[in-house]
Structure 1
């Protein structure tokens, strides 16, 4: 299965994905008169706030997945920017999961939640994102 080439940026180095479940997503950002804002999404299924992300489709690369999931979940076309650290965790089933992320400048475009996986979005400061 194709994934993505090894990536490096400012101390980050992911050689390759190594979990049973692979996903990819983006951290959309923009600057306004108040400073940096991050876009978070609300997932009603889990009643939590997260970043746009999802599992790879057959034959899809991690970057392709990140772009597709963002467009599907919130209608936001993005161009991937800097790679961000991937996260690794264990699902309730005991299976390992890994999510690869990229920063993506959103500019002035506004997201539109799909109404299924995502019911709300919010532009927040980094501090607010951390709290949620």
Structure 2
């Protein structure tokens, strides 16, 4: 199995208590904005790029709120899923990746929990929890 790193952006509207989600065409499911980390890309760079491609929004990644792992037999991948807490810093919702994303929508925390059952405690803990993310750069 090939190891793949996948990043997601948990974008939460504190005023409306809603989570930004995208509908993926390939799997016909909903997820947080995100995707695979490309070679030479840091985790946070990938999350920023993927969020822009899928939503048209510019984000800033803060901390990590979740790490999941799965063996994806159909894709022959060993996937590590890293979810960042993210803040919108610009842009307007506009799907850039029309081949991969069919819809972008704000949903309640309750609905997000239903759409993402792989988080057994739901996404509500993401609102208040965080783990520092430190990019150490290039070390000698």
Per-residue displacement from partner, 1:14-66 (whole Å, max 9, x unpaired)? xxxxx81111120111123xx41100100122110001111111111111111
1:52-131 residue pairs with structure 2 within 5 A? 52-92=33-73, 93-106=75-88, 110-114=92-96, 115-131=98-114
Quote the residue 2:125 is aligned against.
none
**Structure 1: runs of 5+ lacking an equivalent:** 1-18
Q: How many residues align?
A: 112
Kept in 2, the 8 Å contact 1:29–1:106? The answer is no
Q: How far did 1:95 drift?
A: 2.8
In the TM superposition, residue 108 of structure 1 has moved relative to its aligned partner by 8.4
Distance in 1 between residues matched to 2:67 and 2:103, nearest whole Å: 24
Aligned CA RMSD, in angstroms, stands at 1.9
SS of corresponding position for 1:81? strand
Runs of 4+ more than 6 Å apart: none
User: 2-side partners of 1:72 and 1:52: how far apart?
Assistant: 9
Unaligned runs of 5+ in 2: 116-140
- Secondary structure in structure 1 of the residue aligned to 2:112: helix
TM-score, scaled to structure 2? 0.72
Q: Which residue of 2 aligns with 1:22?
A: 5
